[in-house]
A and B are shown apart, each in its own frame.
Chain A
């Protein structure tokens, strides 16, 4: 089911429906047989609207990066659909896929490994034009690349330098320039600032916001840093073990979380204010995230949840607005996948 959005009806640019990705686990060398599957993404649905930023947060192993790859069709989905302008891109191949990918680009986490060390910056940023020559005629490319360098705040003279001559923040700018080269509509950012120093992180976040306004981009912003996600996102989805636990506007999620996992996640974030120490209640979850190869029955969070009851082991909670809150104006009335969804005061990441 699609989540309920309040306010103006907007046009979704990307619609994800029941997306599933299972990685098979095999045994044997000659006669391989499947003995199970890692359920990395197990039925998630959301919409991305034109010009908005949808933040996806979650801990390692929750499937957020797999979602990014599925949206790019870098991995084939096991089931489910991704509609881009009404067309299901999970089924596309060949020329049709190539055409769609022009409009959906990606910025990767690690600017050290996502740039080819043996290519110059000019070649790296210009490579998308080799694949889509219709965007920039051959003679025009050098100028285009220099323009892109300028747009992301690098000196256009750096064209012939190699990635190792740049710092982490500058490399991430190169990665962003490459993502912008084909004038895409959607950019999927997988932890774009996680590898950067605090003082440089702010520069890159500002750059991304400026580019979004300038080029009317839609961002899917995947990160584990909750305060950065809150700053940049219009809406936020929280993932846990291959499922969407809760989704809503940034205010709904950060100020009025109703899913116990979101509440625990927010309360665990260290707040950069020593005066808050001791004053706020923290929910410390025990244990680790279970293996996605063998997730718990029913609600996947139940093994670490303090509210868990028998019902949680039997029934998978659906991502929907909680019954009790359905007709209220409360900001807590947003989609949450918990049988006992309820607002709780947590002083979270500011």
Chain B
């Protein structure tokens, strides 16, 4: 018999208690891919930081560089073709890009873990989920098979998989989409990391299951006081869980702000356009606002502000100069020449 829990949604934005140094800092990160057709500039100078207990949402469309940044942090980019010509990724003050492979491996999984979008293709189909969860303990902590299995059951309980002890020997295909994503979360949590990067964790799930999984993630984050980088294109999911938000376009952060202010009063025309193109109740029967044109080709990013061909406010200066990330307010920035006019509406 199932029960229905009615919860008030995730509580309002929290102030991160760790006011000290951030857990992770990305500084002026550049990533490019050398392909047959030329150099694809996927990330062009990204800066962001996350503290313990804090949720940073990275919002962007496909090709905005949000996932590539995450892969660079995890150190799972294929190099070549990828190259990081410039930038720093500081984890607790140490630059991970200059570390040896050995040092990096100790951080990956144990200190920073990642949850991928597609659980079915991220899990090995020919090994039981218990084996795959236990692997974390056998490899990193040298536990015996038996002890690792017990730990795996404990983890499956933690992420609320019913009858965990009976299902530990099941294979990924025997689980539903939501349950598989729970297993991915369990795997990320296994070594109690300080930071979790979730790349579109609920995009492949149905809404009712999405709500379950996001609630679980938020609950575990509070329990372990982890930092969370949530990569998504869904403005609704972000509004529900994030503390602060960074909007990416063509490999750059075009706006970053605490979540409430960004929704109330966006300081970049792209963010404004995204918010306006969500169908709203009072617009029924009218045309939706649509950002004209298409996202840019990263082989050939437009000069000046990359958004200028699609921007309603574009002037000559936008075609000529790349706008710097201007400080709009404390903890808030916008990379637009005309952010003042934008914020005033």
Chain A interface residues toward B at CB < 8 A: 59-60, 167, 169-170, 197-203, 205-206, 209, 224, 226-228, 230-231, 250, 264-265, 268-289, 303-306, 350
The smallest beta-carbon distance between B83 and chain A, in angstroms, is 26
Q: Is the CB of A272 within 8 A of B2?
A: no
Q: In the bound complex, what is the Cα–Cα distance between A282 and B294 (angstroms)?
A: 36
The smallest beta-carbon distance between B248 and chain A, in angstroms, is 13
The smallest beta-carbon distance between A251 and chain B, in angstroms, is 9
Q: In the bound complex, what is the Cα–Cα distance between A273 and B242 (angstroms)?
A: 11
Contacting B13 at CB < 8 Å: which of A209, A226, A274, A286? A274
Q: In the bound complex, what is the Cα–Cα distance between A159 and B5 (angstroms)?
A: 55
Q: Is the CB of A206 within 8 A of B288?
A: yes
Q: In the bound complex, what is the Cα–Cα distance between A269 and B289 (angstroms)?
A: 21
Contacting A288 at CB < 8 Å: which of B4, B209, B278? B209
A275 contacts across to B, CB distance below 8 A: 260, 263-264
Contacting B208 at CB < 8 Å: which of A197, A231, A265? A265
Q: Is the CB of A280 within 8 A of B209?
A: no
Counting from the closest, the 9 A-B pairs by CB-CB distance are A270-B236, A231-B279, A306-B4, A59-B206, A202-B277, A202-B290, A268-B211, A197-B61, A272-B235
Name the residue of chain A whose CB is nearest to the CB of B274: A198
Name the residue of chain A whose CB is nearest to the CB of B258: A274
Q: Is the CB of B233 within 8 A of A198?
A: yes
Q: Is the CB of A199 within 8 A of B207?
A: no
Contacting A169 at CB < 8 Å: which of B234, B278, B294? B294
Q: In the bound complex, what is the Cα–Cα distance between A195 and B234 (angstroms)?
A: 13
Q: Is the CB of A277 within 8 A of B208?
A: no
- Check if B295 is an interface residue, CB within 8 A of chain A: yes
Q: Is the CB of B211 within 8 A of A288?
A: no
B126 contacts across to A, CB distance below 8 A: none
A200 contacts across to B, CB distance below 8 A: 294-295
A271 contacts across to B, CB distance below 8 A: 236, 239-240
Beyond A60-B206, A205-B288, A350-B280, list 15 extra A-B contacts (CB 8 Å): A202-B291, A205-B279, A224-B207, A227-B280, A268-B207, A268-B210, A270-B240, A271-B236, A272-B238, A279-B9, A281-B8, A282-B6, A285-B208, A289-B176, A289-B206
Contacting B294 at CB < 8 Å: which of A167, A230, A250? A167
Instruction: List 17 A-B pairs, Cβ < 8 Å.
Output: A169-B294, A197-B295, A201-B277, A205-B288, A230-B279, A268-B207, A270-B211, A270-B214, A271-B236, A272-B238, A277-B12, A277-B239, A279-B9, A283-B4, A284-B7, A284-B215, A350-B280
B283 contacts across to A, CB distance below 8 A: 231
With A284-B5, A304-B4 as contacts: A198 and B279 at CB distance below 8 Å: no
Name the residue of chain B whose CB is nearest to the CB of A167: B294
The smallest beta-carbon distance between A127 and chain B, in angstroms, is 26
Name the residue of chain A whose CB is nearest to the CB of B160: A286
- Check if B79 is an interface residue, CB within 8 A of chain A: no
Q: In the bound complex, what is the Cα–Cα distance between A244 and B206 (angstroms)?
A: 18
A278 contacts across to B, CB distance below 8 A: 8-12
Q: In the bound complex, what is the Cα–Cα distance between A60 and B207 (angstroms)?
A: 10
With A272-B263, A285-B208 as contacts: A304 and B279 at CB distance below 8 Å: no
- Check if B284 is an interface residue, CB within 8 A of chain A: yes
Contacting B176 at CB < 8 Å: which of A268, A272, A288? A288
Most buried by B among A59, A202, A265: A202
- Check if B103 is an interface residue, CB within 8 A of chain A: no
A286 contacts across to B, CB distance below 8 A: 2-5, 212
A167 contacts across to B, CB distance below 8 A: 294-295
The smallest beta-carbon distance between B216 and chain A, in angstroms, is 10
B3 contacts across to A, CB distance below 8 A: 286, 306
B279 contacts across to A, CB distance below 8 A: 202, 205, 227-228, 230-231
Q: In the bound complex, what is the Cα–Cα distance between A306 and B10 (angstroms)?
A: 21
A272 contacts across to B, CB distance below 8 A: 235-236, 238-239, 263, 275, 278
Instruction: Identify which of residues 286-335 in chain B touch chain A, using a CB-to-CB cut-off of 8 Å.
Output: 287-292, 294-295
- Check if B281 is an interface residue, CB within 8 A of chain A: yes
Q: In the bound complex, what is the Cα–Cα distance between A167 and B63 (angstroms)?
A: 12
- Check if B179 is an interface residue, CB within 8 A of chain A: yes
- Check if B62 is an interface residue, CB within 8 A of chain A: yes
Name the residue of chain B whose CB is nearest to the CB of A280: B9
Q: In the bound complex, what is the Cα–Cα distance between A269 and B210 (angstroms)?
A: 9
With A231-B279, A271-B236, A274-B260 as contacts: A59 and B207 at CB distance below 8 Å: yes
Q: In the bound complex, what is the Cα–Cα distance between A281 and B291 (angstroms)?
A: 33
Name the residue of chain B whose CB is nearest to the CB of A348: B281
Q: In the bound complex, what is the Cα–Cα distance between A303 and B4 (angstroms)?
A: 10
The smallest beta-carbon distance between A110 and chain B, in angstroms, is 14
The smallest beta-carbon distance between B266 and chain A, in angstroms, is 12
Name the residue of chain B whose CB is nearest to the CB of A197: B61
Q: In the bound complex, what is the Cα–Cα distance between A52 and B277 (angstroms)?
A: 23
Name the residue of chain B whose CB is nearest to the CB of A261: B208
- Check if B53 is an interface residue, CB within 8 A of chain A: no
A202 contacts across to B, CB distance below 8 A: 277, 279, 288-291
Per-residue CB proximity of B66-109 to A under 8 Å, as 1/0?
A: 00000000000000000000000000000000000000000000
Q: In the bound complex, what is the Cα–Cα distance between A209 and B279 (angstroms)?
A: 13
The smallest beta-carbon distance between A50 and chain B, in angstroms, is 18
Name the residue of chain B whose CB is nearest to the CB of A168: B62
